[in-house]
Amino acid sequence: MKVPVQEDSSIQNENTPDAPGRHRRRASTGRRATYLVLGAVALVALGLGGVSVATADRGTPAPAAVDFDARARAEDAARADRSVRESIAPVTPSATPVSPSPSPTAASPTPTRTATAKPKPQPKKTVKPKPSWVIPMKGATITSCYGPRWGTLHAGIDFAMPAGTPIHAAAAGTVVKAGDAGDGYGNSVFIDHHNGYLTHYAHQSRLIVSVGDKVSAGQVIGYEGATGDATGPHLHFEVHQGQMWNQIDPAPFLRARGINVAC
């Protein structure tokens, strides 16, 4: 019984890479047998202990297996976590030099939002553009056209509607005159359309624009009235070419811009 154990232990001792044991063997080869015996005894003791432990473990194999599994899983998880961290790590430094801002995490989502917000204004482009010229008082009865009247020149077109009807700018432009100048036109508005033409809206009961206002085509500028030299509520509408008080016939002018008036 002792002999196979010694042989086994001696083989194990030879294989054991124990540095101090080798040094001692070189120093005194005479005591080698003694050391071998002592080593064998120690190894046998260790082996027995190991066997006893193994036997004890074998008696309850389930918990040991569970412990091993748990440890392996923990190690796997740690490795996976590390690999995730390592995979994220190269992304962060590559993003950092691209954006020199101190907060790259805050800067990176911003372009994405801007990119998603950019397509939104595009539908605005598809919105139908407003007509450049509109009739200043829709559905009105024309009571006087441009031309000689009562021995003088009637220099505009009269649109009649009930008093207080809104008056619309015939086209976009800038209000260059607004108020009652005491010249017979009553409360009147001049709009410069910045294309060599001005329009004039007279006899209004109330004005809601002032000099310098930018107006769009169809925007309400005031309300129909009978201020100034007027026999009843109506809009006296004029077109001035090149400069103020150079009135032209508004009918062909409007017709050329898609607005048909019965004159």
* Residues 253, 238 contacting (CB under 8 angstroms): no
> Closest approach of Cβ 165 to Zn ion, in Å?
16
Nearest to 224 by CA among 238, 235, 210, 239: 235
Nearer to Zn ion, 9 or 227 (CB): 227
Nearer to Zn ion, 142 or 259 (CB): 142
Nearer to Zn ion, 158 or 224 (CB): 158
Give DSSP secondary structure letters for 213-244.
-EE-TT-EEEEEB--SS-SSSBEEEEEEESST
Q: Is 5 helix (H, G, I), strand (E, B) or coil?
A: helix
Nearer to Zn ion, 158 or 209 (CB): 158
> Closest approach of Cβ 225 to Zn ion, in Å?
13
> Closest approach of Cβ 172 to Zn ion, in Å?
24
Ramachandran angles phi, psi of 30, nearest 5°: -70, -35
- State the DSSP code for 200: E
> Closest approach of Cβ 203 to Zn ion, in Å?
8
Nearer to Zn ion, 69 or 229 (CB): 229
Question: Under the rule (CB under 5 A), what is the footprint of Zn ion?
Answer: 156, 158, 236
Q: How many other CB atoms are there within 10 angstroms of residue 89's CB atom? A: 11
Nearer to Zn ion, 44 or 160 (CB): 160
When CB distances to Zn ion are compared, the closest residue is 236
* Residue bearing tokens 């995979």: 87
Q: Is 177 helix (H, G, I), strand (E, B) or coil?
A: strand
> Closest approach of Cβ 195 to Zn ion, in Å?
24
> Closest approach of Cβ 198 to Zn ion, in Å?
16
Q: Residue 253: CB partners within 8 Å, gap ≥ 6? A: 197, 239
